């Protein structure tokens, strides 16, 4: 372990550094900050929303556009509350909650080590655990009675199951095929924390793959491999990735088998994506509760069956935290420290920054012209304030892969310097060929 590094190989105190970089550079802000914040909800700023969009699009491209056998969907967050009875969430989506009688802080009983309160230090003060349902409840329509209860969805998966027939019939897919969806999910977590790792409002990127029973184990393995491969292609350090198999006592109520993809965060190994064999649990429950046939008829064999489901379920915000934590680096160059985000160029919020070396001699005018023309095809950022070194550092912290500088030579021969964020190499490129140059560089490592 290098001096000062944590066990996961990250720089010391990474979570605090990352939180402060995210705020300083406009990636992530605390929700309702001017009112003192709200329990574990975060807002994505100008750079954060770009990064999040890029990650979501990369997932969509991988899971929908590249696959003839997967269709997209965007279902509502609010659903008929019977959905959550059928899915088992009303009854079983709970965590064991205890309260310290001394300081009145609440904890998840399964996360406590021993009888001592982690907040006030008193021993033996916990109440008996009671099951606490994590779903947010609200009412639909103007009357707030039991019949009007609605839930904010705690997972996007159910929107897919209830649309299984719609999608299968309209898209004319044959089994095996999948349905993918990205969207908000809400959980009233007892102990949210670690920045955007565990929040009460988050986005999921889920895909449900419907297969013939008996072929599920094979598909489960194939999806484990495929999903790990994608995570590696994002550029995540392979040594900080591993699979974790759920033991029988850890399996969710719907799962026959489950593997997490875990990342070695500064606070330990934790999941950010799960691959689950949900069997025909969800479809059979929806068939029972809705009294609508959800069976699949296989024209080739003449068989009729309820498909099994292999689910891949990733948190968008949590994957984004993996991307940020893994990209964060501190380097020393000629005695000066620089902080940078080694983001995959496809994920980087800004692809190129354009600077005039100095704010005179017509350089800003040329630089603005270059920035405006690039802006037609790429997100670019123009900056003329501060020393050139400071401007480079700001872009390093934003993860911008290329910085373009207009200098004295540009005025003579219409060429600019292009600086590479990671290697710090600079090369001269004619303005006329700049767009193609950047596009070729960005395409060199497609996601
Ligand atoms: N449909 C299956 C499902 O929801 P899960 O393991 O409960 O499975 C899947 O959640 C993923 O959603 C997790 O791996 C994580 O990335 C993300 N996730 C779950 N709860 C979260 C929370 N409170 N905050 C942020 N992300 C969360």
Per-residue pLDDT reduced to its tens digit, 363-415: 999 999 999 999 999 999 999 999 999 999 999 999 999 999 999 999 999 99
Please provide the distance, in angstroms rounded to a whole number, between the alpha carbons at the two ends of the chain.
31
Q: C-alpha distances in angstroms, 383 versus 191, 341, 352, 367?
A: 41, 19, 11, 9
DSSP 173-237: --SSEEEEEEEEEE---SS-BTTTTB-SEEEEEEEEEEE-TTSHHHHHHHHHHHHHHHHHHTT--
pTM: 0.96
Does residue 189 have its Cβ closer than 6 Å to ligand 1? yes
Assign 3-state DSSP to the chain and report helix, strand, coil percentages, each to 5.
Answer: 35, 30, 35
Residue whose CA lies nearest to ligand 1 atom number 16: 315
Report the Cα 142 to chain-centroid distance in Å.
Answer: 35
Contact 346, 447 (CB under 8 A): yes
What is the arithmetic mean of pLDDT over 151-175?
Answer: 97
412-417's contacts with Cβ under 8 Å and 24+ in sequence apart are: 416/370
**Rounded distance, CA 59 to CA 376, Å?**
24
Contact 205, 101 (CB under 8 A): no
Contact 402, 427 (CB under 8 A): no
Q: What is the CA radius of gyration of the chain?
A: 25
Contact 78, 165 (CB under 8 A): no
What is the arithmetic mean of pLDDT over 140-146?
Answer: 94
Q: Which atom of ligand 1 is nearest to the CA of 155?
A: 4
Provide the sign of the torsion angle of the four alpha carbons 348, 352, 357, 359, taken in this order.
negative
Q: Which atom of ligand 1 is nearest to the CA of 198?
A: 24
What is the arithmetic mean of pLDDT over 234-239?
Answer: 97
Res. 84: pLDDT tops 70: yes
Does residue 314 have its Cβ closer than 6 Å to ligand 1? yes
Does residue 273 have its Cβ closer than 6 Å to ligand 1? yes
Contact 393, 343 (CB under 8 A): no
Residue-wise pLDDT tens digits, 202-222: 999 999 999 999 999 999 999
Return the best residue to mutate from 44, 195, 202 for the ligand 1 pocket (most ligand atoms within 8 A of CB).
Answer: 202
Residue-wise pLDDT tens digits, 259-290: 999 999 999 999 999 999 999 999 999 999 99
Task: Compute, in angstroms, the gap from residue 274 CA to the centroid of ligand 1.
Answer: 8
- H/E segment holding residue 281: helix 281-290
Q: Which atom of ligand 1 is nearest to the CA of 156?
A: 1
Res. 6: pLDDT tops 80: no
Residue whose CA lies nearest to ligand 1 atom number 6: 274
- Nearest CA to 219 among 231, 207, 210? 210
User: In a 10 Å sphere around its CB, with 0-12 CB exposed, 13-18 middle and 19+ buried, how is residue 310 labelled?
Assistant: buried
Decide: helix, strand or coil at residue 266.
Answer: coil
**Rounded distance, CA 77 to CA 155, Å?**
9
Does residue 318 have its Cβ closer than 6 Å to ligand 1? yes
Contact 151, 77 (CB under 8 A): no
Res. 1: pLDDT tops 60: no
Position 64 scores a pLDDT of 98
**Rounded distance, CA 231 to CA 306, Å?**
31
- What torsion, rounded to 10 degrees, do the Cα atoms 221, 222, 228, 233 define? 170
Does residue 203 have its Cβ closer than 6 Å to ligand 1? no
**Rounded distance, CA 100 to CA 107, Å?**
8
Q: In the numeric block, which tokens belong to residue 132?
A: 């606490």
Any bridge partners for residue 151, and if so which?
Answer: 137
Does residue 271 have its Cβ closer than 6 Å to ligand 1? yes
Contact 447, 61 (CB under 8 A): yes
Task: Compute, in angstroms, the gap from residue 220 CA to the centroid of ligand 1.
Answer: 19
156-188 as b/e, with b when 16 or more CB fall inside 10 Å? bbbbbbbbbbebbeeeebebbbbbbbbbebbbb
**Rounded distance, CA 181 to CA 207, Å?**
6
Give the mean pLDDT of the chain.
Answer: 96
- What torsion, rounded to 10 degrees, do the Cα atoms 432, 434, 439, 441 define? 140
Any bridge partners for residue 418, and if so which?
Answer: 404, 427
Residue-wise pLDDT tens digits, 326-343: 999 999 988 999 999 999
Task: Compute, in angstroms, the gap from residue 203 CA to the centroid of ligand 1.
Answer: 9
For 51, phi then psi, to 5°, come to: -60, -45
Task: Compute, in angstroms, the gap from residue 5 CA to the centroid of ligand 1.
Answer: 28
Task: Compute, in angstroms, the gap from residue 172 CA to the centroid of ligand 1.
Answer: 30
Residue-wise pLDDT tens digits, 10-29: 999 999 999 999 999 999 99
Position 5 scores a pLDDT of 57
Does residue 157 have its Cβ closer than 6 Å to ligand 1? yes
Task: Compute, in angstroms, the gap from residue 351 CA to the centroid of ligand 1.
Answer: 30
- Nearest CA to 401 among 54, 15, 66, 12? 54
Position 3 scores a pLDDT of 47
**CA neighbours closer than 13 Å in the CB half-sphere of residue 295:** 9
């Amino acid at each position: 372990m290098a001096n000062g590094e944590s066990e996961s190989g990250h720089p010391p105190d990474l979570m605090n550094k990352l939180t402060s970089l995210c705020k300083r550079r406009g990636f992530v802000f605390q929700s309702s900050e001017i009112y003192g914040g709200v329990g574990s909800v975060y807002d994505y700023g100008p750079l954060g929303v770009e990064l999040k969009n890029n990650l979501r699009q990369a997932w969509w491209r991988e899971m929908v556009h590249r696959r003839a056998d997967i269709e997209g969907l965007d279902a509502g967050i609010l659903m008929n509350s019977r959905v959550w009875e059928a899915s088992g969430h009303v009854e079983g989506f709970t965590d064991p909650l205890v309260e310290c009688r001394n300081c009145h802080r609440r904890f998840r009983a399964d996360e406590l080590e021993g009888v001592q309160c982690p907040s006030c230090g008193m021993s033996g003060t916990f109440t008996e655990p009671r099951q606490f349902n994590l779903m947010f409840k609200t009412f639909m329509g103007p009357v707030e009675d039991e019949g009007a209860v609605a839930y904010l969805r705690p997972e996007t998966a159910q929107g897919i199951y209830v649309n299984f027939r719609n999608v299968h019939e309209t898209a004319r897919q044959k089994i095996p095929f999948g349905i993918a969806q990205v969207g908000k999910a809400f959980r009233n977590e007892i102990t949210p924390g670690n920045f955007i790792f565990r929040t009460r409002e988050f986005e999921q990127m889920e895909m449900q793959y419907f297969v013939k029973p008996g072929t599920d184990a094979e598909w489960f393995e194939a999806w484990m491999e495929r999903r790990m491969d994608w995570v590696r292609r994002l550029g995540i350090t392979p040594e900080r990735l591993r699979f974790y198999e759920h033991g029988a006592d850890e399996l969710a109520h719907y799962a026959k088998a489950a593997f997490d993809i875990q990342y070695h965060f500064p606070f330990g190994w934790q999941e950010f994506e799960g691959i689950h064999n949900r069997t025909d649990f969800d479809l059979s429950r929806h068939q029972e509760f809705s009294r609508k046939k959800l069976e699949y008829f296989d024209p080739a064999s003449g068989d009729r069956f309820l498909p099994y489901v292999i689910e891949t379920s990733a948190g968008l915000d949590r994957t984004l935290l993996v991307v940020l934590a893994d990209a964060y680096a501190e380097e020393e160059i000629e005695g000066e420290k620089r902080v940078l985000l080694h983001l995959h160029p496809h994920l980087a919020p800004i692809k190129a920054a354009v600077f005039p070396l100095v704010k005179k001699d017509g350089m800003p005018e040329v630089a603005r012209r270059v920035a405006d023309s690039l802006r037609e095809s790429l997100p670019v950022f123009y900056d003329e304030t501060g020393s050139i070194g400071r401007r480079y550092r700001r872009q390093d912290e934003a993860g911008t892969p290329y910085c373009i500088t207009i200098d004295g030579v540009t005025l003579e021969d219409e060429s600019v310097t292009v600086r590479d964020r990671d290697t710090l190499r600079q090369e001269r490129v004619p303005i006329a060929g700049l767009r193609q140059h950047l596009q070729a560089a960005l395409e060199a490592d497609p996601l």
